[in-house]
């Protein structure tokens, strides 16, 4: 079977192109594992990508070749007002359309996998024109916040690409159930009559004990907080830095380790500026992207792992760290309520000041951290989908769809 992905250059692709192995992939397991499983099952997987990556390839795995990148539509990141981005968006759409169309004409793919929303829309349109089955994949959505502000119709006017993505015919649409209310977005925007199965699935996670991790990272010998997230505004690194500031004001001289790639350079610069402004340069450490086992190891040994995102905190970082036994402090937004029993297997906090109080309780020995860890692992083993189970479901669906068996 031959599969064509139409997508932005997700971190796993960039990792493989820059010399990392499958064990060293730093982000987006929901993207990486179906791709890798397809290859392991003997299928050809190629890509048309839009990216800001324009460097020589350094591929060091034997299951991926340069030819698997059918086209790299170079499209450098631009932070600018919306009206200045329009020519770039039109140019990218045209080039993506051209290369996706050419790929389908030349290689006769059996299935097109479309990564929502912008690149995926192109893949969906071209696959429909060629009569090739396609599926849409979204790792969650930021649309519900707009729904609350502008309503369903107003959001459709403001976000036409996303709106069309929900309306077009396809074989299926998988949305990660990550607390961002993608099911409610679908109910508002679904085509009538419905044109495809909408699959609202939790992610899967490899549940590992601390002794199972393949990690050589040297753990700091001082107390620290750990926060892993790409540098994007809605991830709210500023809240974590403010927690550290509050602890320092109370004489608790912890360090903070921040791990993750830079999605929004200006926001990354703002966080570094905030750290300097607060005089915390010697206590805040920027690790950059790290692999999942290193992330779990840092999280496990941290005093606490605050999760203070906007919208939802039910992401990959939560699943990976909680299942290893890390002490989680999750913002009280409802997204973690199915998993965290406050003060038992983790903590639900109202705001930064509440988080500071919880960290102080931990430092003062008022919390049995070993019991919190044990109950977190127990909860994960009972309630989480395993990585193999979840992503085998997805690959099985792709295979059935390509073979015309149906879902």
- Each residue's pLDDT, cut to its tens digit, for the chain (407 residues) gives 999 999 999 989 999 999 999 988 877 889 999 999 999 999 999 999 999 899 999 999 999 999 999 999 998 766 667 667 788 888 999 999 999 999 999 999 999 999 999 999 999 999 999 999 999 999 999 999 899 999 999 999 999 999 999 999 999 999 999 999 999 999 999 999 999 999 999 999 999 999 999 898 999 999 999 999 999 999 999 999 999 999 999 999 999 999 999 989 999 999 999 999 999 999 999 999 998 999 999 999 999 999 999 989 999 999 999 999 999 999 999 999 999 999 999 999 999 999 999 999 999 999 999 999 999 999 999 999 999 999 999 999 999 999 987 55
d(CA 365, CA 105): 65
Contacts of 18 (CB under 8 A, 6+ apart): 55, 57, 58
Give the pTM.
0.90
What local confidence, expressed as pLDDT, does residue 78 receive? 67
Contacts of 197 (CB under 8 A, 6+ apart): 172, 173, 407
d(CA 92, CA 232): 22
ω into 325 cis (within 30 of 0): no
Instruction: Give just the sign of the alpha carbon dihedral 393, 394, 398, 401.
Output: positive
């Amino acid at each position: 079977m031959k599969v064509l992905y139409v997508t932005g250059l997700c971190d796993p692709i960039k990792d493989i192109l820059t010399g990392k192995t499958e064990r060293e992939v730093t982000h987006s397991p929901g993207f990486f594992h179906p791709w890798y499983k397809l290859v392991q099952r003997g299928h050809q997987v190629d890509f048309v990508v839009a990216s800001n990556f324009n460097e020589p390839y350094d591929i060091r795995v034997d299951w991926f070749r340069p030819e698997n990148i059918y086209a790299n539509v170079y499209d450098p990141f631009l932070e600018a007002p919306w009206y200045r981005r329009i020519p770039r968006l039109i140019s990218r759409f045209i080039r993506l359309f051209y290369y996706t169309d050419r790929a389908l004409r030349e290689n006769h793919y059996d299935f097109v996998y479309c990564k929502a929303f912008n690149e995926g829309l192109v893949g969906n349109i071209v696959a429909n024109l060629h009569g090739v089955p396609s599926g849409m994949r979204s790792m969650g959505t930021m649309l519900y916040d707009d729904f609350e502000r502008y309503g369903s119709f107003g959001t459709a006017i403001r976000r036409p690409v996303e709106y069309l993505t929900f309306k077009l015919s396809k074989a299926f649409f998988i949305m990660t159930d990550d607390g961002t209310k993608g099911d409610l977005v679908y109910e508002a925007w679904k085509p009538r009559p419905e044109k495809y199965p909408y699959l609202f699935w939790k992610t899967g996670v490899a549940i590992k004990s601390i002794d199972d991790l393949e990690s050589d990272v040297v753990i700091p010998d001082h107390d620290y907080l750990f926060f892993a997230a790409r540098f994007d505004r809605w991830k709210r690194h500023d809240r974590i830095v403010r927690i550290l500031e509050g602890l320092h004001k109370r004489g608790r001289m912890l360090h903070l380790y921040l791990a993750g790639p830079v999605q929004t350079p200006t926001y990354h610069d703002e966080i570094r500026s905030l750290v300097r402004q607060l005089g915390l340069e010697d206590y805040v450490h920027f690790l950059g992207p790290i692999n999942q086992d290193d992330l779990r190891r840092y999280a496990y040994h941290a005093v606490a792992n605050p999760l203070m995102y906007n919208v939802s905190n039910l992401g990959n970082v939560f699943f990976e760290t909680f299942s290893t036994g890390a002490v989680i402090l999750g913002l009280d937004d409802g997204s973690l309520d199915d998993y965290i029993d406050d003060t038992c297997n983790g903590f639900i906090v109202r705001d930064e000041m509440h988080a500071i109080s919880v960290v102080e309780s931990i430092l003062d020995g008022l919390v049995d951290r070993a019991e919190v860890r044990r109950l977190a692992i127990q909860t994960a083993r009972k309630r989480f989908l395993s990585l193999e189970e979840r992503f085998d479901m997805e690959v099985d669906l792709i295979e059935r769809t390509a073979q015309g068996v149906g879902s």
